[in-house]
Amino acid sequence: MTFDNARGLPTPGRPSPTSPDVSATPSVVQSLGRHADGAVPFSVEFSPPRDEAGEQRLWRAVRAFERMHPAFVSMTYGAGGSTRDRTVRVTGELALQTTLLPVGHLTAVGHSVAELRSIVGAYADSGISNILVLRGDPAGDPLGEWHKHPGGVEYAEELVRIVRDLGDFHVGVASFPQGHHRSIDLDHDTRYLAAKLRAGAEYSITQMFFDVDDYLRLRDRIAALDPVEGAKPIIPELMPITSLRTVERAEQLCGRPLPDRVIERLRVAAGSGPEEDRAAVRAAGIEIATGMGERLIAEGAPCLHFITLNFAKATSEVLTNLGYGVTASPLRAGTVTAGSQSAGA
């Protein structure tokens, strides 16, 4: 392994005779299939830390989830490629220092093709063969106008092909239950997803959502458009709401406002006093995420992917409610616990 600084970042694209063999690493799809017959696995998303305190918080969460045996974990890539070095470094550490299966994010925004190939090389140096390919959001304003790098690519479909052409990499892409905010309509959005899958993506992870029916409609649309590509796993992404402040963050990640019924439920929990009843809001958020998870499992979702914001507790509580744990088996398709929120809210 070749490193270019004291923090352990693999030198992008520099070959090393001791680099792990990426072809020996299982793919995300293979990992999903290795779980107990009928059991629905889970996975989690981390973000690269900004400072030493954030580093410690991240690793506490990593070790907590490691004991629960997720199918895979992913590491985000900041808007405009702003966290590239940290993303590559920490994803490499996850591969080398844990038993987890890491998925590195890779975004097209702000990068030339040469830079993108170099980043893929850095992932390979750490033995990472699973990469989630995204077009990415502009730095500073995720909803702002998207500009292609002069030497880069315009669409995620192109980036999928670049990564696949570089070696034995397993590629995932994003999908959008409510449609991407830049898509003309849902039909066009579904065609874009099909193009990414046809380019070689093996699965997709959805943008976070709060209406399970949106996920089911996405699944139906892609299956109707292309039954072959539509059979590939569509992994739903969830995030437990723990305070009213996190509602704004959730809406940023969704790219859409939360459903009125979800907002109303959280506001009722917050109470009418001068200060938010944070414990009640948190409890409501856990219940919402649990109900969504139960319905998604019953509807045959291949996995549940959780945004953690590098905290383990809230997601762990949802997983415990769903029957996951260090030794417990997760729920199986068609199983719903007593008192579940079947509407996903």
Q: What is the reported pLDDT for 332?
A: 52
CB-based contact 25:129 (threshold 8 Å) = yes
In the structure, what pLDDT confidence band is assigned to residue 185 with cuts at 50, 70 and 90?
confident
Backbone φ and ψ of 235, nearest 5°:
-95, 120
Q: What is the reported pLDDT for 97?
A: 94
Percent of the chain with pLDDT over 90: 63
DSSP state of 273: S
Looking at per-residue pLDDT, the higher value among 301 and 343 belongs to 301
Helix segments in the chain, DSSP class H: 28-33, 52-66, 84-97, 113-125, 156-165, 186-198, 212-225, 227-230, 245-254, 260-270, 278-298, 313-321
Residues contacting residue 63 through CB under 8 Å, at least 6 positions apart: none
In the structure, what pLDDT confidence band is assigned to residue 87 with cuts at 50, 70 and 90?
confident
Whether the pLDDT of residue 270 is over 50: the answer is yes
Q: What is the reported pLDDT for 235?
A: 98
Q: What is the reported pLDDT for 19?
A: 46
Whether the pLDDT of residue 1 is over 80: the answer is no
Q: What is the reported pLDDT for 180?
A: 79
Q: Give mean pLDDT, residues 180-198.
A: 89
Active site residues: 45
Q: Which residues pair with 171 in a beta bridge?
A: 131
The kind and range of the H/E element at 278 are helix 278-298
Class of domain 22-321: alpha beta
Question: Model-level pTM?
Answer: 0.86
Angstrom distance (rounded) from CA 135 to CA 309: 21
User: Which of these, 80, 103, 107, lies nearest to 92 by C-alpha position?
Assistant: 103
Domain boundaries, the chain: 22-321
Which tokens hold the place of 309?
């914001």
Instruction: Determine the 3-state secondary structure of 102 from DSSP.
Output: strand
Q: What is the reported pLDDT for 214?
A: 96
In the structure, what pLDDT confidence band is assigned to residue 229 with cuts at 50, 70 and 90?
very high
DSSP state of 24: G
Q: Which residues pair with 205 in a beta bridge?
A: 174, 235
Q: Residue-wise over 174-211: b if at least 16 C-beta within 10 A, else e?
A: bbbbbbbeebeebeebbebbbbbbebbbbbbbbbbbbb
DSSP codes of every residue in 309-330: TT--HHHHHHHHHTT-SSSPPP
Q: What is the reported pLDDT for 9?
A: 36
Cβ count near 225 (within 10 Å): 14
Which tokens hold the place of 3?
């490193």
